[in-house]
């Protein structure tokens, strides 16, 4: 065996071993029982680099969110705000422990979120849809503020449907103040209109237990800059009341007895372990640049996903076996080499998807099948070219070499044209279309490797035994 051929085999066997190693965590994960998987996911013990199952295969919740551009800061563009909202939502979902979460931009101000395995849409809305704008205001307890509050209670609806203060109510406000709703219906506060400290300075937020009457609460800690601002705010307002405002609603009001530099707590009589945990998640992830409205919501049951998996696997296995059988029957020995390449193509593709933590969906399965079809086409071109050269009576080694040389241009042409289609589908498509494009593109690259490089290495190794003919 020549040194060049030896290196070809080292590369081929190395990629096979690497693929098996990358694919093993996914095989180990999905051979566990559903109960084991749920327990491990709740404990945040899900491996990072495994092949995920999409909403159509596993079931879960699908949400379409619309960014309320009317509430955006005038200095921020819609495009930048939408990109920032996507990153914040992704951070929230990751901290919540939901893996395999496709979050995609749709149009100018819409975001599509898929949460495989999450069948409680209310819980998903609580985590994803909350703006989580945390602010700290000083309460105005002056006579003017008390008089304004008294008159405000005589107004039937001081806030409109969007939560904005009506002009009638706004006229009652003392200069530099603003009305805020309380958590309890009909409760209002007069607070300073400006918030010297906001949640933008938070470094951490955690759910804790042991608060009032043993109820859970959320503790938070500021970064160094926020700590200085909070220290300045509290030291200048000792014996006054500090209000903690979340998304425009006063969560709690407490008297400042001494200066506070870097931390605090948010308590609520209605806090449960889940609500306190979810609030800590959204505070850690940061506030959305503007509120988001859920305009579409649907839940896919796990039964539908299970049926899709069975039907998809059944179709893929039957089709795959038929293709292998055809190649073996029609091309015999050469067909066996092509079948080895097809098998390696599938293994390497699944391994590469697992490495990138890609999510497998039904359109993605369609992309895999199409990429395997392209691999079959490449092997058919090679085998037919070898047949043509053998019909001319040329030596066997020359037939194989010329077969690859003559088939190469056609193989490259068809792979590149399909690859261009896949790139454009990924660039301009969304959701399921992108899933199809990803598997198709990866499959085409691997197909080119297995159909040309791996099969040729097998032929060259076989030629070292000086065979007289080939079964083709």
Domain membership of residue 56 (yes or no) is: no
Question: In this structure, is residue 323 part of a structural domain?
Answer: yes
Across residues 41-52, what is the average pLDDT?
76
**Of 259, 287, 315, which closes a domain?**
287
DSSP code for 119: -
Dump pLDDT digits (tens) for 320-369.
Answer: 888 889 999 999 888 999 999 999 998 999 999 888 877 777 788 888 88
The tokens for 444 are 């085409």
Same domain, 319 and 274: no
**Rg of the chain, C-alpha, whole Å:** 31
* Tokens describing residue 360: 């497998």
- For 416: left if phi > 0, alpha if psi spans -120 to 50, otherwise beta; the answer is alpha
Asked whether residue 43 is domain-assigned, the answer is no
Give yes or no: residues 160 and 232 share one domain: yes
Residue 273 and residue 246 share a domain: yes
Range of the domain at 138: 134-287
- pLDDT at position 211 is 60
Residue 308's pLDDT band, with cuts at 50, 70 and 90, is low
Whether the predicted pLDDT of 200 surpasses 60: yes
CATH code: domain of residue 201: 3.30.1360.200
Classify residue 62: in a domain, yes or no. Answer: no
The 3-state DSSP composition of the chain as helix, strand, coil percent (nearest 5) reads: 55, 20, 25
Task: Tell whether 318 is covered by a domain.
Answer: yes
Examine the domain organization and report whether 261 and 350 are in the same domain.
Answer: no
Domain match, 179 and 277 both: yes
Same domain membership, residue 240 and residue 389: no
- Mean of pLDDT over the chain: 82
Q: Are residues 231 and 324 in the same domain?
A: no
Query: Are residues 281 and 340 both part of a single domain?
Result: no
Q: How confident is the model at residue 269 (pLDDT cuts 50, 70, 90)?
A: low
316 to 73, 326, 373: CA distances (angstroms): 50, 15, 12
Q: How many domains does one find in the chain?
A: 2
What pLDDT is recorded for position 206? 84
pLDDT digits (tens, 9 = 90+) for 141-178: 888 888 888 888 878 788 877 667 888 888 888 888 88
Residues 144 and 213 in one domain: yes
Q: Is residue 456 part of a domain?
A: yes
């Amino acid at each position: 065996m020549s040194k060049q051929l030896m290196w070809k085999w080292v590369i081929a066997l190395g990629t096979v071993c690497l693929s098996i190693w990358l694919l093993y965590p996914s095989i180990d994960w999905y051979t566990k029982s559903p109960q084991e998987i749920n327990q491990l996911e709740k404990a945040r013990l899900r491996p990072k680099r495994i092949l995920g199952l999409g909403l159509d295969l596993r079931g879960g919740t699908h949400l379409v969110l619309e960014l309320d551009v009317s509430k955006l800061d005038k200095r921020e563009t819609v495009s930048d705000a939408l990109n920032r909202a996507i990153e914040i939502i992704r951070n929230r979902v990751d901290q919540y422990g939901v893996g395999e979460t496709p979050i995609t931009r749709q149009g100018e101000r819409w975001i599509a979120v898929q949460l495989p395995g999450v069948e409680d849409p209310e819980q998903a809305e609580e985590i994803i849809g909350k703006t989580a704008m945390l602010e700290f205001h000083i309460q105005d307890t002056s006579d003017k503020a008390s008089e304004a509050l008294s008159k405000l209670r005589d107004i039937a609806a001081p806030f409109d449907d969007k939560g904005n203060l009506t002009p009638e109510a706004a006229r009652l406000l003392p200069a530099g103040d603003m009305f805020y709703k309380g958590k309890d219906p009909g409760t209002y506060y007069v607070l300073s209109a400006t918030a010297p400290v906001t949640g933008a300075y938070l470094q951490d937020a955690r759910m804790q237990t042991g608060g009032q009457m043993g109820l859970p609460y959320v503790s938070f800690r500021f970064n160094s800059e926020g700590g200085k601002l909070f220290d300045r705010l509290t030291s200048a307002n000792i014996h006054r009341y500090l209000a903690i405002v979340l998304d425009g609603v006063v969560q709690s009001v407490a008297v400042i007895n001494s200066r506070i530099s870097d931390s605090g707590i948010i308590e609520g009589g209605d806090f449960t372990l889940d609500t306190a945990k979810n609030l800590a998640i959204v505070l850690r992830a940061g506030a959305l640049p503007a509120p988001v409205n859920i305009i579409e919501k649907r839940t896919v049951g796990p039964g539908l996903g299970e049926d899709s998996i069975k039907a998809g696997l059944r179709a893929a296995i039957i089709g795959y076996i038929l293709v292998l059988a055809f190649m073996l029957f029609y091309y015999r020995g050469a067909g066996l080499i092509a079948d080895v390449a097809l098998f390696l193509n599938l293994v390497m593709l699944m391994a590469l998807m697992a490495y990138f933590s890609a999510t497998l969906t039904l359109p993605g399965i369609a992309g895999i099948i199409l990429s395997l079809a392209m691999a079959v086409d490449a092997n058919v071109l090679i085998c037919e070219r070898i047949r043509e050269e053998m019909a001319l009576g040329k030596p066997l080694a020359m037939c194989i070499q010329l077969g690859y040389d003559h088939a190469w241009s056609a193989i490259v042409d068809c792979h590149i044209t399909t690859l261009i289609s896949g790139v454009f589908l990924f660039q301009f498509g969304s959701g399921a279309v992108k899933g199809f494009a990803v598997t198709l593109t990866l499959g085409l690259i691997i197909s080119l490797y297995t159909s040309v490089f791996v099969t040729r290495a097998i032929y060259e190794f076989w030629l070292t035994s000086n065979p007289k003919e080939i079964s083709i």
